[in-house]
Amino acid sequence: MAATDTAVLVPEITAHSVEPEPRGWVSWVTTTDHKRIGILYLVTTFVFFIMGGVEALLMRVQLGAPDNTFLTPSTYNALFTLHGTTMIFLFVVPIMAGFGNYFLPLMIGARDMAFPKLNALSYWLLLAGGIVFYFSLFFHPPEAGWTSYAPLSNASFSETSGIDAWIFLIHLTGISSLLGAINFYATIANMRAPGMGWGRLPLFVWSLLVYAVLLILALPVIAGAVTLLLTDRHFGTGFFDQSQGGDPLLWQHLFWFFGHPEVYIMILPGFGMISEILPVFARKPIFGYKAIAAATVVIAFLALLVWAHHMFATPSATVVLVFFMISSFLIAIPTGVKIFNWVATLWRGTVEFKTPLIFAVGFISVFLIGGITGVFLAVFPVDWQLTDTYYVVAHLHYVLVGGSVFAIFAGIYYWFPKMTGRMLSEGLGKWSFAFMYVGFNVTFLIQHSIGLDGMPRRVYEYPDVGHLALYNLISTVGSFILAAGIGLTVVNVVRSLKHGVKAGPDPWKANTLEWFTPSPPPVNNFDVVPRVRSVEPMKDIRRQVARQSEAPVEVGAESRH
Amino acid sequence: MPAALAADRIRHSRRAFALTLAAGIVGLLALAAGASADPLTPESGGSPNADSIDTLYKVVLAVAVVVFFGVEGVLLYSLVKFRARKNAVPAQIRGNTRLEVGWTLGASVILVVLAVVTFVMLADIRNPPNSDAAGFPSDRVENVQDASAYQPRTPNGRALNIKVNGQRYIWRYTYPDKDTNALNNAFSYEELVVPTKTTVTLDIQAQDVAHSWWIPQLGGKFDAIPGHTNFTWFKIPEPGVFRGQCAELCGRNHADMVATVRAVEPAQFKSWLARKRREVDTADKLAQTRRKELQAEQAQGAEAP
């Protein structure tokens, strides 16, 4: 099927590779090319995504019926620890780095990242972190949740090495992300195409810039916290032990000082992708470029001031509760501004329902729910009822699956042609979306009610009271529909690698510079870096070409081989 | 554009739209399926603070529903109305400062309203009322040492104070009395028996890992953190049984760490408490007797060989 029915032939400046593209697995292991590292990131993190997904399905099977005995309590606790940690540290955060690696240099007209070798190191540290963590499966996997609250994670209550594996994962992926963040920052600050001022930076790049800054600010805190935990566990330091002058609440403060910015680290690049995709398929410039960029910065700033809203149920002075309620309210404003601007971007456009657009719109419609339930949770007396229940599970999945994952899938469908030179199947893509959208909502919408009915999170079983059995069964059925939808995209990707329609350099008639290169781009990206005159340099180039050739040459789909 | 291709495009967008619509309807149905037996609001009905939280939740819900349908409505409308059609020309608009300022202010106003409502209702949720005249006669609660944290006080300072201690995987309740040695106080495990019409304040502690005290119908969660004391209260008007469970991951049997609050008439509570105290006294006397017996045995053993 044709990706676009018409395309203006762009006599793009074809880059001539200076040397032949290296081949074989050794070339992948030794590569410092940002595009190959990007692919490594994307493939690795997607594998972890599948693993985390299987863990989720196992949990949903256990919860499909009350008083189920499919899993033991310790297996169940290990599964939610693995699931949460995997999805956050090995999937969402690094896959954003994967997209960033591949597209950041292309979008700003650079030939590579600022520090290519550091970039390769980032990837290999990530993989090392994943391996250290998953090898705990053969010994004792951690069971203290992705938050690893002290004292539960102290040596007295978690004797086995699982927590240590978790700590090393945090350290390794943390260093990986820090190096990556420094690299992103340096690249954006120094390597933009001529003419690309801050006001012409693509919004995805804006989001990566803020993602990088947030990582640099938040990661050292968690690195310090897990180091203290490590010395508590093995050298008797007692930082989190009240009987030795420490405090379990210190862990919670340090963890969430990192943990909440982490939420925005996971969602901001997704916001960036949405801001790139909507204008392309609405055939209309992004509405409120400055407002969206500014909102990104404001969100990042406020993200550093809301951590204790995760701790409303701890012994807290009223002034603390009030401060963190207000700061959490404030962060809803720039988030709302983004949503309004996205809807306004579609308004009076000509919306083309290609798969990336559908995922992007799906993102807006469900992320909105996650945003709204976030306001409920910010009202601290209400939070006292909702925290640590399935309501929070529903909320965070609306943000991270409805938000991040849908954005990631929009990104996959949008950029796959650039990365591989072939289109993904539109039909399969739409089916994948339909299954994911329905499955996601069936799984998680009902979990709000499960939480309101009094079921805490992280319980391996529940009694057959009220509607809990029915609600949980609905949720379990939904999780398999969601999994089927994800599976369809996996099939789509594998099939299209070989059999997809050839994409050409600019199948979507997009706005940013990555579409100026052939698909896939050559090693050096650009022979000549074009001068940037607006936020939509590719649109300018297409116009210029059309002017130069007087009458734009229209070709039908049959010209695509 | 060739007509066949245009038709193809229209068919395409129609199918996509139908898809989105179907998904939306299924989502709504899922919501409707759940719309029985109070699935949209928190549990309440056992204590005034839980009821106030429920009311506050409903206020937020009302605002949320308006925002939700407003935004989703405009989104859906623009997708239908502005889908790509033949000869449609997208408007090249880049923004509108008035609109930006407008929706920023609009969002702020909504949040200010929610904050004000929260502050107005906060007193009812945090501050316990006096016990009823018919309630269990209780003493003044002395301030515990952890003065930095908030401790609820009734206006007349009188309430039935109970210490709640979280331990893996059971809750222990101590009923303080004039005997300052807590080990001589009446106590119970798992089931907390309280009098009706009486304000009960809880001092919540943990002795091993963090736990969280939660009886949904009696109010929110309060974490039990080792080294800290947390506080909450409830006042149950009518006799009844209220169930809850630990809400903070505390280990493998976290799911089994349940709690029950049984509210009984004050007179009944009085006799229950007296019985509990007698049990403690009896156990003390038994221990004394046993010690004497052991001493006697040891003395015999020393003489014998």
- Is-contact B159 B141, C-beta < 8 A? yes
Q: What pLDDT was estimated at residue B241? A: 96
A260 is an active site residue: yes
Distances (CA, A) of A285 to A107, A251, A289, B1: 17, 45, 9, 23
| Cβ within 8 Å, pair A449-B84 | no
A448 is an active site residue: no
Give domain status of residue B255, yes or no. Answer: yes
Of B39, B95, B126, the CB nearest to A467: B39
A387 is an active site residue: no
Domains: count for chain B: 2
Which helix (DSSP H) or strand (DSSP E) does residue A7 occupy? strand A7-8
| Cβ within 8 Å, pair A6-B1 | yes
A253 is an active site residue: no
Which residues in A364-377 are b (16+ Cβ under 10 Å) and which e? bbbbbbbbbbbbbb
Q: What CATH number is given to the structural domain containing A44?
A: 1.20.210.10
Give phi and psi for B167, each to the nearest 5: -145, 150
Report cis status (omega within 30 of 0) of the bond before A390: no
> Which of A309, A354, A395, A397 is the catalytic position?
A309
**Do B116 and B236 have their domain in common?**
no
| Cβ within 8 Å, pair B9-A5 | yes
**Cα(B12)–Cα(A351) distance, rounded to whole angstroms?**
12
Give domain status of residue B267, yes or no. Answer: yes
Which positions in chain B touch A373 (Cβ < 8 Å)? 64
Angle between helices A93-108 and A34-63 (to 10 degrees): 150
Give domain status of residue A142, yes or no. Answer: yes
Give domain status of residue A26, yes or no. Answer: no
Q: Count of alpha carbons within 13 Å of A374, Cβ hemisphere only?
A: 27
Tell me, yes or no, if B37 comes closer than 8 A to chain A by beta carbon: yes
Per DSSP, what are the bridge partners of residue B166? B171, B206
Give domain status of residue B173, yes or no. Answer: yes
Tens of pLDDT, residue by residue over A473-528, are 999 999 999 999 999 999 999 999 999 999 999 999 999 999 999 999 998 899 88
Chain A: give the shortest CA distance to residue B251, in Å. 7
A335 is an active site residue: yes
**Do B113 and B169 have their domain in common?**
no
Structure confidence at residue A24 as a pLDDT band (50, 70, 90): confident
Disruptive mutation site among A59, A353, A450, A471 for chain B (greatest number of B CBs within 10 Å): A353
One-letter amino acid of A506:
D
Both structure tokens of B85: 């059609």
**Do B81 and B176 have their domain in common?**
no
| Cβ within 8 Å, pair A361-B79 | yes
Per DSSP, what are the bridge partners of residue B164? B173, B204
Distances (CA, A) of B47 to A467, A539, B86, B153, B237: 23, 63, 62, 16, 7
Which helix (DSSP H) or strand (DSSP E) does residue A391 occupy? helix A390-399
A34 is an active site residue: no
| Cβ within 8 Å, pair B23-A441 | yes
Residue ranges for chain B with pLDDT beneath 50: 1, 33-37, 146-148
| Cβ within 8 Å, pair B92-A456 | no
Structure confidence at residue A561 as a pLDDT band (50, 70, 90): very low
Report cis status (omega within 30 of 0) of the bond before A151: yes
Q: ipTM, 2 decimals?
A: 0.90
Task: Please say if the pLDDT value at position A10 is more than 90.
Answer: no
Q: What pLDDT was estimated at residue A14? A: 55
DSSP chain B: --HHHHHHHHHHHHHHHHHHHHHHHHHHHHHHHT-SSS-SS---SSSHHHHHHHHHHHHHHHHHHHHHHHHHHHHHHHHHHTB--TT---------HHHHHHHHHHHHHHHHHHHHHHHHHHHHHHSPPPPPTTS---PBPPPPS-TTS-----TTSB-EEEEEEEETTEEEEEE--S---GGGSEEEESEEEEETTSEEEEEEEESSS-EEE--GGG---EEE-TT--EEEEEE-SS-EEEEEE--S--STTGGG-EEEEEEE-HHHHHHHHHHHHHHHHHHHHHHHHHHHHHHHHHHHHHH--
**Do B170 and B56 have their domain in common?**
no
Q: What pLDDT was estimated at residue A4? A: 45
Give domain status of residue A224, yes or no. Answer: yes
Of A352, A434, A460, the CB nearest to B19: A434
Task: Please say if the pLDDT value at position A460 is more than 50.
Answer: yes
Give domain status of residue B146, yes or no. Answer: no
Tell me, yes or no, if B208 comes closer than 8 A to chain A by beta carbon: yes
| SS3 state at A555 | strand
Give domain status of residue B305, yes or no. Answer: no
Question: Closest Cα partner for A380 from B163, B65, B219, B235?
Answer: B219
- Is-contact A447 A401, C-beta < 8 A? no
Tens of pLDDT, residue by residue over A301-355, are 999 999 999 999 999 989 999 999 999 999 999 999 999 999 999 999 999 999 9
Q: What pLDDT was estimated at residue A549? A: 79
**Do B166 and B76 have their domain in common?**
no
Tens of pLDDT, residue by residue over A62-89, are 999 999 999 999 999 999 999 999 999 9
Which positions in chain B touch A446 (Cβ < 8 Å)? 30, 33-34
One-letter amino acid of A330:
L
| Cβ within 8 Å, pair B230-A325 | no
Interface of B with A in 181-200 (CB under 8 A): none
**Do B165 and B282 have their domain in common?**
yes
Give domain status of residue A546, yes or no. Answer: yes
Give domain status of residue B303, yes or no. Answer: no
Q: What pLDDT was estimated at residue B194? A: 96
Both structure tokens of B168: 């893996």
Give domain status of residue B154, yes or no. Answer: no
Which residues in B154-185 are b (16+ Cβ under 10 Å) and which e? beeebbbbbbbbbbbbbbbbbbbeeeeeeeeb
What residues make up the domain containing B225?
160-290
**Cα(A86)–Cα(A94) distance, rounded to whole angstroms?**
11
What residues make up the domain containing A105?
7-13+34-559
Q: What CATH number is given to the structural domain containing B216?
A: 2.60.40.420
Average pLDDT, chain A: 92
Task: Please say if the pLDDT value at position A529 is more than 80.
Answer: yes
Domains: count for chain A: 1
Q: What pLDDT was estimated at residue A429? A: 96
Structure confidence at residue A5 as a pLDDT band (50, 70, 90): very low
**Do B180 and B120 have their domain in common?**
no
- Is-contact A276 A512, C-beta < 8 A? yes
Disruptive mutation site among A348, A354, A392 for chain B (greatest number of B CBs within 10 Å): A348
**Do B104 and B165 have their domain in common?**
no
Both structure tokens of A73: 């309590």
Q: Which residues contact B250 (CB under 8 A, 6 or more apart)?
A: A152, B166, B168, B169, B208, B209, B210, B211, B257
Per DSSP, what are the bridge partners of residue B195? B264
> Using alpha carbons only, what angle is made at residue A113 by residues A107 and A115, rounded to the nearest 5 degrees?
165
> Which of A41, A102, A123, A146 is the catalytic position?
A146
Give domain status of residue B114, yes or no. Answer: yes
Tens of pLDDT, residue by residue over A97-114, are 999 999 999 999 999 999
